[in-house]
Chains A and B, each alone.
Chain A
């Protein structure tokens, strides 16, 4: 299995419960926590073994660089410059001299050790509270060497969880649409990459237009729209086997697919005779159920995490607005009432918020509101941006943004961006090509 790769996790020592440092995540990155990520120590023999297998000079430093980058990108941590570190990695991992780390103003310290054992990669790491002079956490993993980047992400998740009290989101992937070529005839491919942009892979060849990929809850399947044979239909793709199949037998365009939280159904729009309504199809028994029945456009459905409700986009009031309803289609209620048009509602994995795209006075916004429509908060404004997708901990949104094209046809680009729920830490997510329609996976290790 691609994702659940042999990953043994063992706790070296009982977790200490009296942590003194804590990261306040409600305020964003106003004062990121200074943290020292010491390179993971590695003995010479392990070093040369990994060099042979992975072509990495010093795997310990490589893994700690992943951790460092993840922490920095979160906006909540400020990894300190390694040149200032006084203690050697192997000694620091045994017993840090807290005065030294205190001197460079580190509040947390991460140390660790990498070894080559029975053809496997063994990594142990420790998180230290520098001010209190105490160990906060110690864990070890054993996995296949090719998983080395994931080890860096898992360490980050553990550190993040320990220091913020929330689940991490680093051992995750992004599926998106890679874009190339002129705007009037874009070549689009499904692509998948690690959350930090590494291990990019293309899943389709670009022979047909593909749009809006979304992960299944277990991340093994993807549902998306393909124009295969010029028939826009919702498809299902098994990432491991590459097997594709069309979802259902609809006499017209199906689009805007997503999985139900239990992974058993696909919810999507079906357009016929100028009217789009929302349907579900059960993936086991293939039973199709019609959820909305209204002459307006009903699209962009998204389930609440408990599967009891659906939020969707409809223009039944005359303009695009956001609605919620029971999962069977009853009790439809409009929740967006601000100025402008609203689209692409997505329910937060925490259940308390709905992220959306808003168009108002020629500008596009990514925002969030409570599920009853109150507390609308716009996080970012731009010429064009849409389609937010939540990180699995409900903390970060990823979306895509397009730039203006001048009358000569120049200046266009489509890129992925992410932003913290607080509206801080807005940044571009690097991709090899232009990119759109991002969808964040759940944590690969649960």
Chain B
């Protein structure tokens, strides 16, 4: 075995251990990246492979890379199904005042809506509805439950 091979094998081993430890951390953190939910619990599908919702960090309305990918798939699906209109429902977790959360939910829903519009979806096919913190999907009072509740959900309106 030459030096080069040793280096190569070592690299593979290192890589494998990195992957393993990444799995371990992800399990520990419970499907969270930062505090944005990355799991599939509660997610429903508008069509095969087209998830209906995107998740947000605490007090944030910016879309993550994963959220943008989900919305691109939604936009493609909406283009294919041009008769369908949708409501974007914006939600917040329970860790905020009711009134501010109504505004935050509206902002989250619009953040998702704006992204759909950049993919050529007509704005009259997309309306928004904020529920603030009134309709959590997970009733738990813990960071994982809160992360599932900070969401914008695309719901078929017709």
Chain A residues within 8 Å of B, Cβ to Cβ:
182-186, 209, 211-212, 225, 230, 232, 252-253, 255-256, 269, 271, 273-276, 297, 299-300, 313, 315, 319-320, 343-344, 357, 359, 362, 383-384, 386-387, 402, 404-407, 409, 411-412, 436-437
Report whether A299 and B99 are in contact in the complex, using a CB–CB cutoff of 8 Å: yes
Report whether B141 and A406 are in contact in the complex, using a CB–CB cutoff of 8 Å: yes
9 contacts between A and B (CB under 8 A): A184-B137, A255-B102, A274-B106, A274-B110, A276-B103, A357-B97, A359-B95, A405-B141, A406-B141
**Known contacts A232-B130, A411-B141; can you find 12 more A-B pairs with CB under 8 A?**
A232-B102, A255-B102, A271-B103, A274-B110, A274-B114, A276-B106, A276-B107, A362-B95, A384-B95, A402-B94, A405-B139, A412-B139
Report whether A344 and B140 are in contact in the complex, using a CB–CB cutoff of 8 Å: no
Shortest 6 CB-CB contacts between residues of A and residues of B: A274-B110, A343-B97, A183-B139, A276-B103, A297-B103, A404-B141
Q: A129 to B96, alpha carbons, bound, how many Å? A: 49
Report whether A212 and B140 are in contact in the complex, using a CB–CB cutoff of 8 Å: no
Per a CB cutoff under 8 Å, which of A209, A232, A319, A387 touches B97? Answer: A387
Q: A171 to B121, alpha carbons, bound, how many Å? A: 57
Report whether B100 and A343 are in contact in the complex, using a CB–CB cutoff of 8 Å: yes
A359 contacts across to B, CB distance below 8 A: 95-96
Chain B residues within 8 Å of A, Cβ to Cβ:
59, 61, 94-100, 102-104, 106-107, 109-111, 114, 129-130, 134-142, 145
Report whether A344 and B99 are in contact in the complex, using a CB–CB cutoff of 8 Å: yes
Per a CB cutoff under 8 Å, which of A299, A407, A437 touches B140? Answer: A407
A297 contacts across to B, CB distance below 8 A: 100, 103-104, 107
Q: Specify which of B99, B134, B141 lies most central, judged by the most chain A CB atoms within 10 Å of its CB.
A: B99
Q: A386 to B94, alpha carbons, bound, how many Å? A: 11
Given contacts A404-B141, A407-B142, A275 and B99 within 8 Å (CB-CB): no
Report whether B140 and A406 are in contact in the complex, using a CB–CB cutoff of 8 Å: yes
A411 contacts across to B, CB distance below 8 A: 141
A405 contacts across to B, CB distance below 8 A: 139-141, 145
Q: A186 to B138, alpha carbons, bound, how many Å? A: 13
A212 contacts across to B, CB distance below 8 A: 98-99
Report whether B135 and A300 are in contact in the complex, using a CB–CB cutoff of 8 Å: no
Report whether B61 and A274 are in contact in the complex, using a CB–CB cutoff of 8 Å: yes
B136 contacts across to A, CB distance below 8 A: 183-184
Q: A315 to B100, alpha carbons, bound, how many Å? A: 9
A386 contacts across to B, CB distance below 8 A: 97-98
Given contacts A274-B110, A384-B94, A300 and B99 within 8 Å (CB-CB): yes
Q: Specify which of B102, B107, B138, B140 lies most central, judged by the most chain A CB atoms within 10 Å of its CB.
A: B102
Given contacts A297-B104, A384-B94, A386-B98, A211 and B139 within 8 Å (CB-CB): no
B141 contacts across to A, CB distance below 8 A: 383, 404-406, 411-412
Given contacts A184-B136, A271-B130, A409-B140, A300 and B106 within 8 Å (CB-CB): no
Closest Cβ–Cβ distance, residue B43 to chain A (whole Å): 15
